[in-house]
Structure 1
Amino acid sequence: MKCLVAVLVCVVLTEGLVKVPLQKHMSVRQALKNRGIRIPYEDPLLKYKHTEFAGSANMYINNYADTTYYGPISIGTPPKSFQVLFDTGSSNLWVDSVYCNTKACNTHKKFNPKQSSTFVAKDQSFYLPYGAGSLYGVFGYDTVNVGGIVIRNQEIGLSTDEPGDNFVVAKFDGILGLAYPSISAGGETPVMDNMMSQNLLNTNLFTFYLSRGGEQGSELSFGGVDSYRYRGQIYWAPVSSESYWQIGIQGFKIGGSETNFCAQGCQAVVDTGTSMLTAPSQILGYIMQAIGAEEDQYGMYMVDCSQVNNLPTLIFVINGVSLPLPPYAYIGQHGDQYCVVNITPTYLPSDDGQPMWILGDVFLREYYSIFDRTNNRVGFAEAI
């Protein structure tokens, strides 16, 4: 996700004023000075000042193969840019650092705290496990800029060891977690919570628009809702556990037929950091049978590509509203004849024992999603 803003400065010469010929390679200020016209000096930094107190920010983020949504932030003074995965399924901010020399770190840009005049070290180490990959690191504090919103004294994790190969081919240099502080390693304050406590946002929420088909144009917004990214009504679901962005599911249908699987209640984590739709393991076989998928030698479920349009729509009933997931959303292109089903199993229940889903990118591409910290709720609207 790269956002490029071009600023054009224009001098308007109206009738009655002396028109100043601008010589090649001469600045507007110098040309006017030669004519005896003086422009008061203004600090160039003033053009950036509004961003620190912007109140809201829309930033374009990259879409890598419909599997990873990431974009730039800057850290330190002077600021250094890093690509981070924006993850609603975790709460810590960390980046690769010069303290780490594993293969995963050496293939990415590293933060050097000695090059930042605002960095403050913290004598605390951490370990972070993810669904895929893990890392060790140390904490510190520094200035962080996210989409033009400047956060002072933000806790940052600096990796010291990233074992294995999970992060080696990652398109990002770190992860920015957007979940609740209760699941933050080391009890560190998440980026969103610091935005809130430092009164940097008009409204304490953020939103995602995830592009489809590997195309660019995805968007992450802080402090406001982008009405150009969705159509129709926003449907809200209360957060059931202030840890992940967890909500309740009251029903699950396949092709319009109620399965009764969530009749006693299911839970779901709304997670931008998970590329698939993840279903409870006890219903996965039922879903695959209903859509006629077959398991291949690698454990992937496949369907005949020519039959995709005939597959059933999956419907989630959330807070009394039916949210459909059409077959083109959960089927991915794999080859000329066979297409992969982008649904994987999860084996762990929620804390209260109810079956757990993960509404990952497969689901979120269909719905503009709003994460509201003031009211502790998640909103869904049909994405454009």
Structure 2
Amino acid sequence: MRTFMLLAAATAVLIQMAETSLVTIPLHKRSSDTSFKNTDLNYDDGLLVGTALVGNPPQQFEILFDTGSGLTWVPSSECKSGNCKNREGYKADQSSTSVNTGQTYKLSYGQGQCIDAKIYKDTVSIGGFTVIDQQFGAATRVSGFDKPSFLGVFGLGDFSSNGDYYLNATGKPNTIGSQEIRRRQTAPGSASYASNAFMTNNGYTSPQFGTYVTSAPTGFGKRWHTKGHFVFGGVDHSVYKGKIAYFPLVDSCDDQSSRFWKIPLTCVKFGDTDIKLHPNSNAAISTGTSFLSAPIKQADKIHDAIDAQYDPSSNVYKIDCDKIDDLPDLIFTFSGYTVKLPSSEWTTRKGDQCNTLIRRSSSDKNWILGGAFSNSFYTIFDLGGERVGLAIPKDQCKAKIYKHGHSLED
């Protein structure tokens, strides 16, 4: 009997050890074993801005990191429009590796921003990743990009399953942004920057990148400094707490336009109020805007509940500043997960003027969740898995993610 009990105890220990090893053996290399890079970005009023080096020798540009569009572009030295004044532009004749493809491209971002560009191939380096013969735009005309901190875009969206992004060789304008409607065109030979970086000899095996923001005191009273971060080549498991919630991208059969990091959106609530959605609604996770954009009826319903007044000149809803702290959470449901976003994340105060960061879009069913949403999380864009992940950064406790009523931070 004693022998049997010893054997049973030993068996139990072995089973426990086996189960433990199965749980702890990672299927993918964790942060200490991967060669991902975590690059600091400038944080500009909800937008993430970083440095691009283009050409040989390299020419430096500050550009917006944008998962809502596919074309990477910088200003051209030929650009003489108002937005290009007092800025250095790309000089193709000063780069030994520059190739003019002969293509031109016109692009509207849907919020009064537009560019005309010539398409080149050249060496492009962003965040320590260098891609040779990368296709990009040199903008000869730029309108609507008025931020002094950047002029240009790092396009991290608008991809197909093989990583190609789509340009229109006919010169017919395309529209992205709030409308998010663009028919797929014939794909040129060069893939998007992110996909190219994984396919070239950089040695990176994980087709994932992500963004998050951190805040730290500057030492001047109660002032705080907010900094953005761009993680490329994997997931940095050291910067979040709890688990990652992953959401599959919309099925390409259900959405004939580019997938633009869109995930199915099944429910929106404002506190206890249901916001009726159009069937098959989705939400694009975009770092290219600081706003949340919603269909007009849905945006109006949210703001009617708090007596906010729409200002058509700025496409924002103004609200009494005294009400901000008492506003309910904005609650989203995606693929079985519930995400709660407190009002502090989607309202803003400038002096004695307050407004929400929710604005109207021209779509009748789709949302765009910009920085007011994505900056609350470590947001992971997984090319290989065709999914978006959200996790709570370690220094952030306002937004919440739940699955079946349980917080992912537990």
TM-score range for the pair, normalised by the shorter chain length? 0.7 to 0.9
Quote the residue 1:244 is aligned against. 260
Structure 2 CA distance, aligned partners of 1:83 and 1:139? Answer: 19
After TM superposition, the structure 1 = structure 2 runs for residues 129-144 of structure 1, keeping only pairs within 5 Å, are: 129-132=108-111, 133-144=113-124
8 Å CA contact 2:307, 2:319 repeated in 1: yes
8 Å CA contact 1:329, 1:366 repeated in 2: yes
SS at match of 1:252: strand
How big is the shift at 1:106? Answer: 2.3
8 Å CA contact 1:103, 1:168 repeated in 2: no
Q: Which amino acid aligns with 1:231?
A: K
The 4+ residue runs of structure 1 with deviation greater than 6 A are none
Q: Which amino acid aligns with 1:375?
A: G
How big is the shift at 1:195? Answer: 1.2
How big is the shift at 1:214? Answer: 8.0
Quote the residue 1:122 is aligned against. 101
Structure 2 CA distance, aligned partners of 1:92 and 1:289? Answer: 37
2:36 is aligned, of 25, 46, 56, to 56
Structure 1 CA distance, aligned partners of 2:310 and 2:130? Answer: 48
Quote the residue 2:346 is aligned against. 330
1:344 is aligned, of 331, 346, 359, to 359
After TM superposition, the structure 1 = structure 2 runs for residues 1-384 of structure 1, keeping only pairs within 5 Å, are: 55-66=35-46, 68-132=47-111, 133-162=113-142, 164=143, 166-182=144-160, 184-186=166-168, 187-188=187-188, 189-198=191-200, 200=202, 201-211=204-214, 215-240=225-250, 241=252, 243-259=259-275, 261-262=276-277, 264-295=279-310, 298=313, 300-336=316-352, 338-349=353-364, 355-383=365-393, 384=396
How big is the shift at 1:211? Answer: 4.5
Larger displacement relative to structure 2 (236-245 or 75-84): 236-245
Q: Residue deviations 1:221-268, cap 9 Å, x none?
A: 111222333222111111114531111011111114433x13744211
Structure 1 CA distance, aligned partners of 2:300 and 2:375? Answer: 24
How big is the shift at 1:126? Answer: 1.0
Structure having the higher Rg:
1
Q: Which amino acid aligns with 2:281?
A: C
8 Å CA contact 1:64, 1:214 repeated in 2: no
Structure 2 CA distance, aligned partners of 1:168 and 1:254? Answer: 33
Structure 2 CA distance, aligned partners of 1:265 and 1:85? Answer: 30
Quote the residue 2:21 is aligned against. none
Structure 1 CA distance, aligned partners of 2:66 and 2:337? Answer: 25
How big is the shift at 1:101? Answer: 1.5
How big is the shift at 1:56? Answer: 2.0
Structure 2 CA distance, aligned partners of 1:112 and 1:319? Answer: 47
SS at match of 1:228: coil
Structure 2 CA distance, aligned partners of 1:292 and 1:228? Answer: 42
Q: Residue deviations 1:40-73, cap 9 Å, x none?
A: xxxxxxxxxxxxxx9422111111122x211101
Identity of aligned residues (%): 31
Q: Residue deviations 1:294-340, cap 9 Å, x none?
A: 3358563222222222111010001111101101111101333x421
- Judged with a 3 Å threshold, the aligned counterparts in structure 2 of structure 1 residues 105 and 322 are, in CA distance, closer, same or farther, namely same
Structure 1 unaligned runs (5+)?
A: 1-53, 350-354
8 Å CA contact 2:249, 2:262 repeated in 1: yes
- Judged with a 3 Å threshold, the aligned counterparts in structure 2 of structure 1 residues 118 and 281 are, in CA distance, closer, same or farther, namely same
How big is the shift at 1:180? Answer: 3.2
8 Å CA contact 2:45, 2:290 repeated in 1: no
Quote the residue 1:35 is aligned against. none
Structure 2 CA distance, aligned partners of 1:330 and 1:168? Answer: 22
Larger displacement relative to structure 2 (276-285 or 300-309): 300-309
SS at match of 1:362: helix
How big is the shift at 1:173? Answer: 2.6
8 Å CA contact 1:181, 1:243 repeated in 2: yes
Structure 2 unaligned runs (5+)?
A: 1-33, 169-186, 216-222, 253-257, 397-410
How big is the shift at 1:357? Answer: 0.3
Structure 1 CA distance, aligned partners of 2:136 and 2:35? Answer: 22
Q: Residue deviations 1:327-384, cap 9 Å, x none?
A: 1111101333x421111011224xxxxx100010001121110000101000011233
8 Å CA contact 1:210, 1:364 repeated in 2: no
How big is the shift at 1:170? Answer: 4.3
Q: How many residues align?
A: 321
8 Å CA contact 2:75, 2:138 repeated in 1: yes
